[in-house]
Chain A
Amino acid sequence: MQVQDVVCTFCGSVCDDGEYDLEKRKIKKFCKLGSSKFAEKERIKAPMIDGKEVSYEEAIEKAAEILANAKKPLLYGWASTANEAIRVGVILAEKLGGVYDQCASVCHAPGTLATIEEGLPGATLGSIKNRADVVVFWGANPMEAHPRHGTRYSISVKGLLVKDRKQRKVIVVDVRPTKTAKIADLFVQIKPGYDYAIISALRAIISGNADVVPSEVGGVPKEKLVELADIMKGAKYGAIFYGLGVTQSRGRDRNLENAIKLIQLLNRFTRWVIWPMRGHYNVVGAGEVPAWEVGYQYAIDFSRGYPRFSPAEFSAVEVLNRRDCDAALIVASDPVAHFPKMAVKHLKQIPVIQIDPYPNMTTLVSKIVIPSAIYGIEAEGTVYRMDCIPLRVKKIIDTNYWTDEKILEEILKRVEKLKG
């Protein structure tokens, strides 16, 4: 038996054309990354407190107690779970007077800050696939990080107006010749940390101030920048996809603000859009859900009973660096593997509760570990693709594991009781 239209819960491309063979337990059509997600992997076997196996109820009871007693619990993760679970998580953070933060704060959050400053002139992947005759990957390497992005949405895909790869010009701007750069029509190699200056130069060239621009900017000769500007201006419909190369290098949100201003300018001549290459399959949901529930996407503090947003204070790394939390709930994430040393150090000093299908580095420092079902395989739920398109991921096989949503709901119920 085959299940059709299986939705992948690995990366932000959220491919939805998988075919799952129930007998062989194998997925077809997905890339290596997606296929590995659908292959059997080591799981956390049972709920644990201090390394001892316990029932779900016992683990949840204890977790609720720790969280309810904390002065400021940090609730972090959320990028690899479904909206239904995220919603309960946000309400739980509100109820606890804690902090809600999600994985974007260490990857694409600068894009959110740039949106605050300048907006987000964008498009869905389906619009780009059909219309974009020029596609720029800036600090993004989909050939490795989003393997099917090019064939489904952006490079070789057959679109309505842009029929094939030949009709689409692909440009890569990066600090090194990536795999994506190798298949590009134009590769612009820039000096690390000079994205902002190069974008400023492009804006100046496009708006008729080329004379001010010096002969070389950020390691790129002026002629090449003029060439790039001409291609951009000459596009019928262009799209910039940006990646962590821009958001996590010198300038961060300022780079993106500048890039959005470039898009604003280009739209005075032709059509251009810009969009982030989001990483985890539902990192968009991890921002959208709290936005409608409490008004902000990430770094939200509820200690006063209402939400406040301040990335420099309430993003997980900043909270941990300042020792500004006394308990943590980590859902579907591995901060111990990815956070800076100082932040991890504090995480090791406070009680940590982990909810995750898989064991990881964070499991090792967690007082309570609660295993959960895998969305898209063992559980159904809503997720948002990188372009905010909602997709319903499927339950294709049965499990005894509880879903994140159910675990969180049970914690919330107990917290409500404890908090009165």
Chain B
Amino acid sequence: MIWIKNGIVVDPKNKINAEKMDIFVKDGKIVAERDVKKEDCKVIDASGKLVVAGGVDMHAHIAGSKINTGRTMRPEEMRVVRNIAGKFRAAVGRVLLTAPAIGYEYAKMGYTTSFEAAQPPIGALHTHEELDAIPMIDKGALPVFGNWHLVFKCIEEKNLEKLKALVAWAIERTKGFGVKVVNPGGVEAWMYGGNVKNLDDQVPGFSVTPREIITWLIKANEELGLPHSVHLHCNNLGVPGNYQTTIESIKLAKGFSNPKRQVLHVTHVQFNSYAGSSWRDAASGAAEIAKVVNSMENVTIDMGAAIFGHATAMTGDAPFQFSLHKLIGARWSNKDTEVETGAGIVPIGYLPSNPVHSLQWAIGLELGLLVDSNKVVLTTDYPNGGPFTEYPYVMAMLMSKKMREGELKKVHQYVQKATTLPSIETEKTLYEVIHMTRSLPAKVLGLENKGHLGIGADADIAIYNLNPLETDFSNEFEKVYKSFKTAEYTIKGGEIIAKNGELLKEVFGKTYWVDARKRVDLEAVIPDVKNYFNYYSVQLGNYGVEERWLKNPSRIEVV
């Protein structure tokens, strides 16, 4: 039992804005004062300190074949030593981190949940092995659907029941959490060396279009009532002029609604917010996108902010990765995956002296500033936009115009005319930024017990050495940044796991997965699945992941 005394609590879900109050923890949950015996509590004196829920990263590439191939192809990334073996595991990595380092770094920063954003269904077991190897945090994974032949077939047939059955079957088989869509149709086109460019392009070999893939998957997802909405990586990622495709894709959510959450989450939007016709005249499309997102009640986005320094591009968007390889001449890995999906990996870096990189940096921030705080989650699309360990940089930037002015001086001045960032006056409040990093991502994912400090919530708590009542967030940005870099306390599931950057206890969190089988008749799709397995290279009986193989599975049943 823990008694966090006199902290200044910011808990947007429960509408608590910098109120001095006590928080009580018992059996891994936040409980009422009357439920603890105070004399048995470990007391943490949080006087003058900020108490918030543990951070929730809803989109990062932390486990599976992509990040592991990234590690393999980039030994230069692994030379940074973060922890020497002893009571805790050795932990290494610059931006790409080993599994222990991922858990440790999140914990030190006060983050306690992170979701792997792209899981190839046939590789699900690999993703879970790596998730199981990440200590400290709770986890989940989103299997990809947007280029799967079976999905195309259901949509071609316009058979919603079949599509729903497929989604429920696949999420169960992969022990996945929701429906991820990456460059719908484009990755299949890549199998022929191409890509799709418009929402109405036909996918080679199928009579379906990206528009139909997105719309039908939203329909299926909503009828199934999954905790999370469709999670979309739009077409044309990384292509100047793509903001229009992004806006068109966002508008596909019109006509759907869900009282609990958005019906479409569009991810790492920074990479999909480019105006212009080439990298020579590229500009920001963030303001237009923000307008559309703000005008809709059922769409959320995450930033995919770019951080100056090293990064590694890794996505299921294989054709984009090849274009990137051609553009910058760097190493390139690719994986065409059965008749399901694909992926690619290319090392990159963001330099302030480079006009395009500066543009990307600015767009990420524009999105964070211009979109309603209730609709934009803070991410870097780790490791695509950079390290998650720099979230505090983005947090501080959103809250301080002065900090932005200083940073704007250091970057390529191309951003002055190509983006609206220099003219944005907005300074997000601490309450908003805490929402964007805690309660909002939890809500977007549909995790009711995460991201807040109400009674019954998981006792995932971060305490920062920052008094919100006495901090001038506009001017004291350095202090703000530093405070959020290292939590004074990180509590996970009711246990203190890190204190002032020092690890105290190694714990292994849960892996959430969603079981929606009761919502469908699996027989609607099983004959087709069996037929398609002629084109797989494994037996249907050997496909998928059993719950007992996972270290700490947590099933969320949709009934």
A residues adjacent to B (C-beta < 8 A): 4-5, 7, 16-17, 83, 87, 91, 94-95, 97, 112, 115-127, 129-131, 152-153, 158-161, 236-237, 264, 267-271, 273, 287-289, 291-297, 302, 304-307, 309, 382, 384, 388-392
Q: Chain B residues near A115 (CB, 8 Å)? A: 69, 72-73, 333
Q: Are the CB atoms of B537 and A126 closer together than 8 Å?
A: yes
Q: Are the CB atoms of B332 and A264 closer together than 8 Å?
A: yes
Q: Chain B residues near A293 (CB, 8 Å)? A: 89, 98-100, 133
Q: Chain A residues near B331 (CB, 8 Å)? A: 116-119
B335 interfacial by beta-carbon distance below 8 Å:
yes
Q: Are the CB atoms of A291 and B68 closer together than 8 Å?
A: yes
Q: Are the CB atoms of A306 and B90 closer together than 8 Å?
A: yes
Report the Cα distance A220→B85, complex, angstroms: 53
When the two chains form the complex, which single residue of A5, A158, A306 contacts B92, counting CB atoms closer than 8 Å? A306
Q: Apart from A5-B542, A126-B337, what are 9 other A-B pairs with CB-CB below 8 Å? A: A120-B69, A121-B334, A153-B537, A158-B534, A264-B332, A297-B72, A307-B92, A309-B75, A388-B126
Min CB–CB distance A132 → chain B (angstroms): 10
CB<8 Å pairs between A and B, sample of 15:
A5-B542, A112-B72, A119-B325, A123-B334, A123-B336, A124-B337, A127-B191, A158-B534, A160-B339, A267-B322, A296-B75, A306-B83, A390-B123, A390-B125, A390-B126
Q: Chain A residues near B546 (CB, 8 Å)? A: 392
When the two chains form the complex, which single residue of A4, A158, A271, A287 contacts B72, counting CB atoms closer than 8 Å? A287
Q: Are the CB atoms of A125 and B549 closer together than 8 Å?
A: no
When the two chains form the complex, which single residue of A112, A268, A273, A389 contacts B538, counting CB atoms closer than 8 Å? A389
Q: Are the CB atoms of A390 and B326 closer together than 8 Å?
A: no
Q: Chain B residues near A236 (CB, 8 Å)? A: 192
Q: Are the CB atoms of B339 and A119 closer together than 8 Å?
A: no
Report the Cα distance A296→B69, complex, angstroms: 10
Report the Cα distance A322→B326, complex, angstroms: 42
Min CB–CB distance A162 → chain B (angstroms): 11
B residues adjacent to A (C-beta < 8 A): 63, 65, 67-69, 71-75, 77-78, 81, 83-86, 89-90, 92-93, 98-100, 122-126, 129-130, 133, 149, 190-193, 205, 322, 325-326, 331-339, 345-346, 534-539, 541-542, 546, 549
Q: Chain B residues near A95 (CB, 8 Å)? A: 85
Q: Chain A residues near B335 (CB, 8 Å)? A: 122-124, 388
Q: Are the CB atoms of A273 and B90 closer together than 8 Å?
A: no
Q: Chain B residues near A16 (CB, 8 Å)? A: 538-539, 542
Q: Chain A residues near B63 (CB, 8 Å)? A: 292
Q: Are the CB atoms of B89 and A94 closer together than 8 Å?
A: yes
Q: Are the CB atoms of B538 and A306 closer together than 8 Å?
A: no
Who on chain B is nearest to A123 by CB?
Answer: B336
Q: In the A-B complex, list the 10 residue pairs whose CB atoms are closest, starting with the nearest.
A: A295-B78, A126-B537, A126-B338, A123-B336, A390-B125, A5-B541, A119-B331, A305-B84, A127-B336, A119-B333
Q: Are the CB atoms of A130 and B71 closer together than 8 Å?
A: no
Q: Are the CB atoms of B123 and A267 closer together than 8 Å?
A: no
Report the Cα distance A94→B326, complex, angstroms: 39
When the two chains form the complex, which single residue of B72, B83, B122, B345 contacts A291, counting CB atoms closer than 8 Å? B72
Min CB–CB distance A240 → chain B (angstroms): 13
Q: Chain B residues near A391 (CB, 8 Å)? A: 125, 538, 542
Question: Are A267 and B193 CB-contacts (below 8 A) given A153-B537, A273-B334, A382-B129?
Answer: yes
Report the Cα distance A389→B130, complex, angstroms: 14
Q: Are the CB atoms of A264 and B90 closer together than 8 Å?
A: no
Report the Cα distance A305→B205, complex, angstroms: 53
Q: Are the CB atoms of B72 and A124 closer together than 8 Å?
A: no
Q: Chain B residues near A305 (CB, 8 Å)? A: 84-86, 90
Q: Are the CB atoms of A292 and B71 closer together than 8 Å?
A: yes
Q: Are the CB atoms of B100 and A288 closer together than 8 Å?
A: no
Q: Are the CB atoms of A388 and B333 closer together than 8 Å?
A: no
Who on chain A is nearest to B125 by CB?
Answer: A390
Min CB–CB distance A419 → chain B (angstroms): 10
Question: Are A83 and B333 CB-contacts (below 8 A) given A115-B73, A126-B122, A305-B90?
Answer: no
Min CB–CB distance B481 → chain A (angstroms): 28
Name the residue in B92, B332, B338 with the highest tally of chain A Cβ atoms < 10 Å from its Cβ.
B338
Question: Are A309 and B336 CB-contacts (below 8 A) given A126-B538, A392-B125?
Answer: no
Report the Cα distance A347→B192, complex, angstroms: 51
Q: Are the CB atoms of B98 and A294 closer together than 8 Å?
A: yes
Q: Are the CB atoms of B129 and A83 closer together than 8 Å?
A: yes
Min CB–CB distance B88 → chain A (angstroms): 11
Report the Cα distance A100→B306, complex, angstroms: 36
Who on chain A is nearest to B535 by CB?
Answer: A160
Report the Cα distance A106→B257, complex, angstroms: 58
Question: Are A120 and B73 CB-contacts (below 8 A) given A95-B85, A125-B537?
Answer: yes
